[in-house]
Amino acid sequence: LPFFRRYIITTIWFLLGIFSLVFIIDFSEMSNRVGSLPGYTLSTGLLVTTLRIPTILMQTIPFIALFAGMAALISLNRRYELVVTRAAGISVWQFLRPFVIGAFLFGVLAVLTLSPLAAWGSKKAQEFEASWGATNATRAENAIPWLRQIYGKDEAIIGAKAVLDNGTRLLNVSVLHFDSDSRIVLRQDADSATLEDGYWLLKNVHETRSGELPVRLDEVQLRTNLKREFVQESLEKPESIAFFDLRRKIEAARSFGFPTNAMETQFHSMLSLPLLLVAMTLIAACVSLKFSRFNQSRAVILGGILAGFLLYVVSVVFTAFGNVGFIPPVLAAWVPVVVAMF
């Protein structure tokens, strides 16, 4: 119990430290990026940064487990507590059990609480950024989505730089209309597009036709046969879906004929996260159990950090392969974790 308590306290301190560091960096970066917008205020900037923090923390959870395990074990070594424990006849696997259990519970807590919070906070943060009056406020990692629709004789491709409300509201929209020979006959650029019942409602539209002057319109209705569920499944990112909703989203995507590799990989990655943290803790134990009263070997500690970083990189690479279907999602999520634990 004392070892388990020590691990939990150390993990909480590392979590608070990473939270503070990420908060300062993200707030500074966001202030430089959107601070000049008319709708931006200090209070809303702090709120948006807070909403974004869980998403960023999910990426740092494995390293928090690694560093917390190393710090707790090195601290126990310096206080002779591990020496006394071994002298009492307790094996390494016995006194490592509290650390392994703590890492597993930390992973379960992250999946059940931090993941849904990250999905919700990410959507709310995008809504705030959009309300500040700039459609380019969204981050560069948000790839521009494209939708193709055919309604009667009209064939159009719809692109947007930002997606809100699960794909039913688009910002900074471009619509390209094609004729039967696949030539562009009309381009519509709009500030926003909202999917209504049977049509897209485009606002503040600039229409451009070949050989004609551009025309500005306040609103345009673009007829469509796309359903809300179809648009949501085609535009929603796996990272923005809460863990509890992933299975339902996977089944819905299959019903529309969409590939589900990315969502399945995300689902299994969430399932394997607790064991990934256990693997990180075991790596920490490998480089922290040798007794040293004053200074632990820097080379050994550096080796542990590099090993944990390598495991994380391999997991990310396997996840990328699983997202595009090169390998099955189950293998993409579980093979790096199982191999590392062995």
DSSP state of 181: T
Query: 190 pairs with which residues across the strands?
Result: 173, 205
Question: Is 203:190 a contact under the CB 8 Å cutoff?
Answer: yes
Among residues of the chain, what percentage have pLDDT more than 90? 8
Question: Is 15:71 a contact under the CB 8 Å cutoff?
Answer: no
Beta strands in 91-165 (DSSP E): 146-151, 154-164
- Average model confidence (pLDDT) across the chain: 81
Query: What does the pLDDT look like over 216-268, one tens digit per residue?
Result: 988 888 888 777 666 766 666 777 778 888 888 888 777 766 778 888 888 99
Residue 318 phi, psi (nearest 5):
-65, -40
In 3D space, the residue among 157, 161, 166 whose CA is nearest the CA of residue 224 turns out to be: 157
Q: Which residue pairs, CB below 8 angstroms and at least 24 apart, start in 176-180?
A: 180/153
- Please state, in angstroms and rounded to a whole number, the distance separating the CA atoms of residues 141 and 172: 16
Token readout for 148 is 């193709």
Residue 143 phi, psi (nearest 5):
-65, 145
DSSP state of 112: I
User: For the whole prediction, is pTM greater than 0.95?
Assistant: no
Residues sharing a CB contact under 8 Å with residue 147, sequence separation 6 or more, in sequence order: 157, 158, 159, 226, 231, 234, 235
DSSP state of 37: S
Q: What b/e readout covers 86-118, taking b as 16+ CB neighbours within 10 angstroms?
A: eeeeeeeeebbebbbebbbbbbeebbeebbbbb
* CB-CB neighbours of 131 under 10 Å: 14
Query: pLDDT per position in the chain (342 positions), as tens?
Result: 788 888 899 899 999 999 999 899 988 888 887 777 777 778 888 888 888 889 888 888 988 998 888 888 888 777 777 767 777 777 777 778 888 999 999 999 999 998 888 888 887 887 777 666 544 444 434 445 677 887 777 888 888 877 777 667 888 888 888 887 788 888 989 888 888 888 888 898 999 887 788 889 888 888 887 776 667 666 667 777 788 888 888 887 777 667 788 888 889 989 999 999 998 888 888 877 765 555 556 666 777 778 888 888 888 888 888 888 888 989 988 988 888 888
* CB-CB neighbours of 20 under 10 Å: 11
Beta strands in the chain (DSSP E): 146-151, 154-164, 169-178, 184-195, 199-209, 215-223
HEC letters along 270-332: HHHHHHHHHHHHHHHHHCCCCCCCCCCCHHHHHHHHHHHHHHHHHHHHHHHHHHHCCCCHHHH
